[in-house]
Structure 1
């Protein structure tokens, strides 16, 4: 009999372990079993633990009957919760639909784990077990094993190599699912209750052990759990920064958070104040900051890999509150404009992961942080600013401030010997009109970089959709009195023209721009994404760095 192993603690405080006992013997408050659409549920249960289908009681048949009464068919995210009546060592058995087996990817595991976490967020349970359905052999593979003895030696050797490769592929796929499950669970448990006078003492306070049955404990599997936890913890950190009121989460507070991360994860950090920013010639950035009483900060975080393959710059828009300036926004919904520093929060979250996991890629994290306010010294429509790279900008809309602060940040990055640049910003309302709240717009000067980021986003569960950067969009940025206007023709390709403006400041470097205004804020919970500021982009950037490190 296999000895029980002690659970391993994760950064989030959650513990995990790999369960070796049969389903009927697993001691857990809740066991979650995934079922594909159209599967024979009785065969699924018997396949996991044959003892449940034996004897006069035939508990598997009872499960099938109960599920049938609930019209459970294994459709994606369909859930049935069943008591076990002491037939299992666990208290509750939950069947969850995995949908079509052909569409079963780690993203499904992430969503299921997040929804399970919310389902049990007010529970006092201390343990939950996921039964892995992603590493099982197919009938074809099983029959191949049985034929091996009658095959010639050379052919058997080829079959053995093929089986080894399939085993390796299966182990890697299992690891992807484990990472997604841990991510999803931690993302689904997130809540921000700092300012509530009456907090839910039960919610997510109980120490939890998450276990995985039907999965072998390997270095790859353990690492996958750890990485998933690290990325989820950083995403939740960024969510917390976005959730804070603007009166608290000022540019100064963002800088303090950057310093804390740098100290804890052995990164270098410097914070430039207004005189230093002015000395660098960042006239576009300081132009936005003029109307605010809160002092502007330019934050520079750096991770230097020992054997660096390249240096990636990630740049975040850090407008800690956007009133629109003198081009004042409507009052309705303005309270949400604290989320205009979501790009900055994503950079801080990503840098925490980089500092923790220490990839073979050097990463430069930059944040241009200020408020956009209509103060006594505020930027006027019609003013002309001189940017860091010397280009002059006529400001025809003070509410198009994000591109102004990013312009100088991109110029700064381009002069730091980086190999590629990625900026994240809640830049335009137009991208919300175009793509809604389910995808960010991506544009850039280098198609290979754009493609890799889209692929990383797909792996991470964050959708990116490429929008065009036609040269003609630059025509709308022509100014009669300066090199550029900061805003193009109203109502015409606003997201693309904003990106075209940014392109003027990348100095020919491979560059990609993520306009995260849509999925960066949700009005209700959706799978692993929370209501409010979602910290969109943390997972994509981390996955990109890990994929190509």
Structure 2
């Protein structure tokens, strides 16, 4: 589907957004009234003879327009129209582009006969193209990077395992002129990343550490992005129930997101140096699997008592975080992980949990998320929950001794591996709820959502 910014066009159908308060003043009010259209959020009404698709919106905010536009594009794709147009301005262009690209996203790689839409062209019309050209180009880049992330998340564990994840990173590096370093198991052992290696020990696929770098001239800031890349998570010997194992291809969403973020940043040509680290591992069962009661020696030298092999993401991240801090002196460091089901209990399915010590950084991301259309919620650290990670035989346990505050105790576990001088530079993002959906919502369709790419891109642009 092609999207063009033009001054004027005669398309097969024009999409119009109408608020309930504006309905009576609309020139097609009588026809719309006869059709039963009430202009409520996400309601649609085709006036085929007039070549109009009326879309109800609650208000003119980007959130309402994005959601309504997503609904409209799905309807247009199931019609016989070949082209559609939207009037755009500086306030709504990003929301409309995201509604079109993200709401119209499909992942058909595994369908033998995917349905083909007749809709080929989307025209965004405005009087002064030059004023909106930059916004148009940036919105396209960010939306397409989000779809790139979705594609990786949606790829099956048979096709996307740690070695093929590394190959994907190499391909992105070549296409976007990024530096790329891949560490295999031999190199990981030299780096003493025994915690990460233990998680992947029972897999037939070698674990990989991926390090991509985007280096512009004279960068204003240096940022490290760390992603959990569990290409599949069976739970290990603490085996997941069968129903919980379905969708576990999404456990790599944090790693996929940081690839999407560095892709967007390099194409936006931001003057920020970015390092993306992904711990690509598969957590399986077998005679060589790591076990509850094992004590692992992490790269930092701290020892971890394993009490649950399904709390594996943090065991990968603790080594990758330590590695990233040694290799890069970053101004900010952010990790992204589908870490805990507890985050969904705390914040619901749609919201990313944010944890860390810097209230200013959390406030900055709250603003970035509001501008981008994503949802974030802060979960507070406290010293009482930290005590629940104590171990009788090691420095720390990989799970809490009580089943409460699980998202926060997971974040506090990672905090043990953040050097003191980096505490105020670091935030942890739990995307367990927001990274994948089986029920479409807003501009998200079935499958991976690309959570984090839009709000991180906005944060980087704000810098």
- TM-score, reference length from structure 2: 0.95
Does 2:45 align with 1:80? yes
The answer to whether the 8 Å contact 2:388/2:402 transfers is: no
Whether the 8 Å CA contact 1:310–1:362 is kept in 2: the answer is: yes
> How far does the alpha carbon of each residue in 1:396-450 deviate from its partner, in whole angstroms, 9 at most, with x for none?
1110000011111111222211111111110001111222212111111222111
Q: Distance in 1 between matches of 2:64 and 2:456?
A: 20
Residue number among 18, 22, 28 corresponding to 1:35 in the alignment:
18
Is the CA contact (8 Å cut-off) linking 1:38 and 1:73 kept in structure 2?
no
Which of 352, 371, 384 matches 1:440? 352
Contact 1:293-1:375 at 8 Å conserved across structures: no
- Superposed, which structure 2 residues align to 1:228-243 within 5 Å? 228-243=139-154
Cα separation, 2, equivalents of 1:93 and 1:19:
19
- Whether the aligned pair in 2 keeps the contact of 1:440 and 1:516 (CA below 8 Å) is yes
- Offset of 1:40 from its aligned partner? 4.8
CA displacement at 1:469 relative to structure 2:
0.6
Structure with bigger RCO (C-alpha 8 Å, 6+ apart): 2
Is 2:403 the counterpart of 1:491?
yes
* SS of residue matched to 1:249: coil
Deviations 1:480-532 (A, max 9, x none): 11110010024210000000000111213111111111121211211211112
Alpha-carbon deviation of 1:126?
Answer: 3.0
TM-superposed CA distance for 1:276, in Å, is: 0.6
- How far is the alpha carbon of 1:18 from its aligned partner? 2.8
Residue equivalent to 1:108: 64
Q: 1:406 aligns with which of 298, 313, 317?
A: 317
CA deviations 1:275-304 (Å, max 9, x no partner) are: 111111212111211121110000000111
**Across the two proteins, how many residue pairs are aligned to each other?**
459
Cα drift, residue 176 of structure 1: 4.6
Alignment partner, residue 77 of structure 2:
121
Aligned to 2:280: 369
Q: 1:528 aligned to 2:443? A: yes
Counterpart residue number, 1:456: 368
Q: CA separation in 2, counterparts of 1:277 and 1:327? A: 25
* Partner Cα separation in structure 2 for residue 114 and residue 350 of structure 1: 22
Partner of 2:226: 315
Q: Does 2:81 align with 1:98?
A: no
1:225-269 CA distance string (max 9 Å, x none):
111111111111111111111011101111111111111111101
Once the two structures are overlaid, the 10-residue window that deviates more, 274-283 or 396-405, is 274-283
Distance 1:333 1:477 in 2: 25
Give a deviation string over 1:115-153, Cα, whole Å, max 9, x none.
211111233433211134xxxxxxxxxxxxxxxxxxxxx
Structure 1 stretch displaced more, 518-527 or 174-183: 174-183
Q: Name whichever of 289-298 and 123-132 sits farther off.
A: 123-132
How big is each residue's C-alpha offset from its partner over 1:438-489, in whole Å with a ceiling of 9 and x where there is no partner? 2111111222111111221121111001011112211011111111001002
1:389 aligns with 2:311: no
- Find out whether 1:19 has 2:10 as its counterpart: no
The CA deviation at 1:82 is: 0.7
Distance 1:449 1:483 in 2: 29
1:515 aligns with 2:433: no
For each residue in 1:346-402, what CA deviation from the matched residue of structure 2 results, as whole angstroms up to 9, or x when unmatched?
111111111211101111100000101112211110111111111111111110000
Which residue pairs with 1:189 in the alignment? Answer: 104
**Partner in structure 2 of residue 211 of structure 1:** 124
- In 2, the alpha carbon distance for the partners of 1:502 and 1:259 equals 28
Tell me if the contact between 2:199 and 2:312 (Cα under 8 Å) persists in the aligned partners.
yes
Q: RMSD in angstroms over aligned alpha carbons?
A: 1.6
Distance 1:207 1:83 in 2: 18
Please list every run of 5 or more consecutive structure 1 residues that lacks an aligned counterpart in the other structure: 1-12, 21-25, 45-59, 86-91, 133-173
2-structure distance, mates of 1:95, 1:197:
34
Q: Distance in 2 between matches of 1:197 and 1:71?
A: 39
Larger Rg: 1
Q: What is the alpha-carbon distance in structure 1 between the residues aligned to residue 150 and residue 416 of structure 2? A: 31
Is 1:226 aligned with 2:137? yes
Partner in structure 1 of residue 30 of structure 2: 65
SS in 2 for 1:418: coil
Instruction: For 2:34 and 2:3, locate their aligned partners in 1 and report how far apart those are by CA, in whole Å.
Output: 35
Q: In 2, are the aligned partners of 1:110 and 1:180 still within 8 Å (CA)?
A: yes
1:205-236 CA-to-partner distances (Å, cap 9, x unmatched) read: 653132224x42124x1111111111111111
Partner SS for 1:120: helix
Superposed, 1:324-403 pairs within 5 Å as 324-403=235-314
Q: What is the distance in 2 between the residues matched to 1:206 and 1:131?
A: 18
CA distance in 2, matches of 1:332, 1:40: 46
Is the CA contact (8 Å cut-off) linking 2:55 and 2:72 kept in structure 1? Answer: no
**Distance across 2 between alignment mates of 1:539 and 1:252:** 27
Alignment check: 8 A CA contact 1:107 1:459 kept = no
Shift of 1:99: 1.5
1:242-321 equivalences under 5 Å are 242-321=153-232
